[in-house]
Chains A and B, each alone.
Chain A
């Protein structure tokens, strides 16, 4: 008897790098996460050929959702061309044969770190956000088992304490990213390190958002048409970054989230953070046949 008689014949592995059982587990956890919006579901985070903290959580979700026909876009800090985004994109294409794109409108699956694209996502699109720290209560309750109880009891009073402290210390709310938000009126989540600018985009959005933390092994979701409300005091309104009046010095786009580019003389100019939107705006002014999608912010104001 040889080993060959005991084992199955070789057949090609399924696409998407992860084995079938891993993908099945992730699918189940995603369904659970969608069923209870904003609630963190534990999952067995698999090894992927990338270090923890570089988007392994998001990558595993993408690998599970992808098929050879899915058009993929990957963003890192708003840009499609950073090393992390480029390597994740090429990896996804390589293991699944999926086509890739930089254009938000053409993508079926968007994996992102730090930003939600400026163009409105559609019902048929899925946004995957990489989350470094999925637990919004960590800063106010270091004991994770108590934090889990607090989620179960919807005991979120201490989240406002964090905001209180920021106002007392600095005169305003300093939480720049991962702004704690109430999902569907029940669970408080940290919406990954997206800026305050992007949080209103999640509210009643048409697309499905899946947030996944690879190192912390937690997955949670904002299903389409779900309320996402940033936590605020009744008398201190929510404010997004003051970028409404800024103009991108390369594309001329105005009223979007900008990156500040310090200049040698001490001043600074700004560039649109969603780089592909900027590229499209430039190409359109040059006369190319480019479709600019509908944007969430119009003239720097969130359209509701």
Chain B
């Protein structure tokens, strides 16, 4: 009697998000050149680089706000197929609303400043088609609570809130629909150090509780070091180095990365 063994299986995790050979230029300026990024489910990807290195452009493309000149973008989700850059405006908006959450550096970009905070969160749910007032209210409250927003200020408009609170409202809005991918564009830049630490704390806790896949863009190595599992380093639109966070920070290979890490120290 022979025992037939299965071929050895290797657990392969497919990347949740794949950005392949993306290039984008604005007139004569090449903002991103042939960049490829893969993000795996549940991980935090950090993107560092100086101002103008193309990291924000890259993030904008991940949020489908911008279309690159060349390149493809796929999300490995059950009901999402094909190159997302080829979607029409309507499909893009639905996808962005339901699958991708974003927190901008400038809260004015992400929030309606004169509407209430809970309303800002509810807007996300409304775009996705929720039409029950009580459900909207509950879900907005839950999302705000998860981002550690003080609930007594639930209905205060963001314009009356502090910078840290505004970022929490943005975060609540981004996670309200439990997106597959959370994009953070310099979420703590412009906040003072203690508030910055609190917001990062919230982000970390969220990440641990919900296993959200995150892409965080920052020029602040400290932020990336606390948050990220893997890091890519960008310079002048090109990905110059990528690897595990510890690896990049302990043993930087590219001269630019070395410079960056040393400058921090």
The answer for the CA separation of A234 and B137 in the assembled complex, in Å, is: 13
User: Which A residues touch B90, using CB under 8 A?
Assistant: 153
User: Which A residues touch B127, using CB under 8 A?
Assistant: 155, 157-158
Q: Which of A158, A169, A236 contacts B123 (CB 8 A)?
A: A158
Task: List residues of A (125-173) whose CB comes within 8 Å of B's CBs.
Answer: 140, 149, 153, 155, 157-158, 160-161, 164-165, 167-169
The answer for the CA separation of A164 and B137 in the assembled complex, in Å, is: 9
Which residue of B has the minimal Cβ distance to A153?
A: B90
Task: Establish whether residues B89 and A149, one from each chain, have CB atoms under 8 Å apart when the complex forms.
Answer: yes
Task: Establish whether residues A234 and B131, one from each chain, have CB atoms under 8 Å apart when the complex forms.
Answer: yes
Q: Which of B116, B123, B132 contacts A233 (CB 8 A)?
A: B132
User: Which B residues touch A157, using CB under 8 A?
Assistant: 123, 126-129
Task: Establish whether residues A235 and B123, one from each chain, have CB atoms under 8 Å apart when the complex forms.
Answer: no
The answer for the CA separation of A159 and B131 in the assembled complex, in Å, is: 11
The answer for the CA separation of A6 and B112 in the assembled complex, in Å, is: 62
Task: Establish whether residues B89 and A233, one from each chain, have CB atoms under 8 Å apart when the complex forms.
Answer: no
Asked if B4 lies at the interface with its beta carbon under 8 angstroms from chain A, I say no
User: Which A residues touch B134, using CB under 8 A?
Assistant: 235
The answer for the CA separation of A304 and B131 in the assembled complex, in Å, is: 24
Q: Distance in Å from the Cβ of A235 to the closest Cβ of chain B?
A: 5
Asked if B257 lies at the interface with its beta carbon under 8 angstroms from chain A, I say no
**Size of chain B's interface in residues, with CB distance under 8 A?**
22
Which residue of A has the minimal Cβ distance to B117?
A: A168
Which residue of B has the minimal Cβ distance to A159?
A: B126
Task: Establish whether residues A164 and B131, one from each chain, have CB atoms under 8 Å apart when the complex forms.
Answer: no
Asked if B169 lies at the interface with its beta carbon under 8 angstroms from chain A, I say no
Task: Establish whether residues B118 and A168, one from each chain, have CB atoms under 8 Å apart when the complex forms.
Answer: yes
The answer for the CA separation of A161 and B118 in the assembled complex, in Å, is: 10
Task: List residues of A (58-91) whose CB comes within 8 Å of B's CBs.
Answer: none
Task: Establish whether residues B116 and A165, one from each chain, have CB atoms under 8 Å apart when the complex forms.
Answer: yes
Q: Distance in Å from the Cβ of B70 to the closest Cβ of chain A?
A: 26
User: Which B residues touch A236, using CB under 8 A?
Assistant: 133
Would you give the 0/1 interface string for B129-150, flagging 1 where the beta carbon is closer than 8 Å to chain A? 1011111110000000000000
Asked if B119 lies at the interface with its beta carbon under 8 angstroms from chain A, I say yes
User: Which B residues touch A168, using CB under 8 A?
Assistant: 116, 118-119, 137, 155
Asked if B122 lies at the interface with its beta carbon under 8 angstroms from chain A, I say yes
Asked if B93 lies at the interface with its beta carbon under 8 angstroms from chain A, I say yes
User: Which B residues touch A233, using CB under 8 A?
Assistant: 131-133, 136
User: Which B residues touch A167, using CB under 8 A?
Assistant: 133
The answer for the CA separation of A236 and B131 in the assembled complex, in Å, is: 10
The answer for the CA separation of A168 and B132 in the assembled complex, in Å, is: 14
Which residue of B has the minimal Cβ distance to A173?
A: B133
Task: List residues of B (123-182) whose CB comes within 8 Å of A's CBs.
Answer: 123, 126-129, 131-137, 155
Query: Which of A140, A167, A233 has most chain B Cβ within 10 Å?
Result: A233
Task: Establish whether residues A161 and B115, one from each chain, have CB atoms under 8 Å apart when the complex forms.
Answer: yes
User: Which A residues touch B116, using CB under 8 A?
Assistant: 165, 168-169
User: Which B residues touch A153, using CB under 8 A?
Assistant: 89-90, 93
Q: Distance in Å from the Cβ of A282 to the closest Cβ of chain B?
A: 43
Task: Establish whether residues B115 and A235, one from each chain, have CB atoms under 8 Å apart when the complex forms.
Answer: no
> Contacts A153-B93, A169-B155: A161 and B122 contacting too (C-beta < 8 A)?
yes
Task: List residues of A (93-129) whose CB comes within 8 Å of B's CBs.
Answer: none
Would you give the 0/1 interface string for A162-194, flagging 1 where the beta carbon is closer than 8 Å to chain B? 001101110000000000000000000000000
The answer for the CA separation of A81 and B227 in the assembled complex, in Å, is: 71
Q: Distance in Å from the Cβ of B233 to the closest Cβ of chain A?
A: 36
Which residue of A has the minimal Cβ distance to B118?
A: A168
User: Which A residues touch B132, using CB under 8 A?
Assistant: 233-235
Task: Establish whether residues B89 and A164, one from each chain, have CB atoms under 8 Å apart when the complex forms.
Answer: no
Q: Distance in Å from the Cβ of A146 to the closest Cβ of chain B?
A: 11
Query: Which of A157, A167, A169 has most chain B Cβ within 10 Å?
Result: A157
Q: Distance in Å from the Cβ of A147 to the closest Cβ of chain B?
A: 14
The answer for the CA separation of A167 and B112 in the assembled complex, in Å, is: 17
The answer for the CA separation of A165 and B122 in the assembled complex, in Å, is: 10
Which residue of A has the minimal Cβ distance to B120?
A: A161
Would you give the 0/1 interface string for B14-43, flagging 1 where the beta carbon is closer than 8 Å to chain A? 000000000000000000000000000000
Q: Distance in Å from the Cβ of B62 to the closest Cβ of chain A?
A: 22
Task: Establish whether residues A164 and B93, one from each chain, have CB atoms under 8 Å apart when the complex forms.
Answer: no
Which residue of A has the minimal Cβ distance to B115?
A: A165
Which residue of B has the minimal Cβ distance to A150?
A: B93
Task: Establish whether residues B126 and A158, one from each chain, have CB atoms under 8 Å apart when the complex forms.
Answer: yes
User: Which A residues touch B131, using CB under 8 A?
Assistant: 160, 233-234
Query: Which of A140, A164, A167 has most chain B Cβ within 10 Å?
Result: A164
13 contacts between A and B (CB under 8 A): A153-B93, A155-B93, A157-B127, A157-B129, A158-B126, A161-B123, A164-B126, A164-B136, A168-B118, A168-B137, A233-B131, A234-B133, A235-B132
Q: Which residues of B contact A (CB under 8 A)?
A: 89-90, 93, 112, 115-116, 118-119, 122-123, 126-129, 131-137, 155
Known: A233-B132, A235-B134. 7 other contacts (CB 8 A): A153-B93, A157-B129, A167-B133, A169-B155, A233-B133, A234-B132, A236-B133
Q: Which residues of A contact B (CB under 8 A)?
A: 140, 149, 153, 155, 157-158, 160-161, 164-165, 167-169, 233-236
Q: Closest 9 CB pairs between A and B?
A: A157-B126, A233-B133, A157-B127, A234-B132, A234-B131, A160-B126, A235-B132, A236-B133, A161-B123
